[in-house]
Amino acid sequence: MQPRISLFSISLLLTATTAQSDEISAPASITRLEYHSVLTQYQPYREQVLIPWRESNETVAKIGGWRVYAKEARQASVPQTQPDASHGAAHE
């Protein structure tokens, strides 16, 4: 029984080696890769003009204070779509 297992193992190994060499020798289609750097639109840091903090606070007060900024942030995070009228109709 031992020689049959050895012959089977050898034949399996030879079959796998032959199939592998066929794959290597077969011409493969070549895909051309393109590279686009994420740094093409990079803009270096520029020093910003600073204004006095009192002037900045007065500008915020004229606009309406922190509540205006909070309202803008809340409106930006809420989706602008209306819910579907048929949604939830089966629950009534």
Q: Mean pLDDT of residues grouped by 10 in the chain (92 residues)?
A: 61 61 64 91 92 93 88 79 62 57
Name the residue ranges covered by the structural domains of the chain: 53-77
Within 10 angstroms of residue 60's Cβ, the number of other Cβ atoms is 13
Alpha helix ranges (H) inside 26-86: 53-63, 66-77
pLDDT at 44: 92
Side chain identity, residue 1? M
| Residues 82, 35: Cα–Cα separation, whole Å | 41
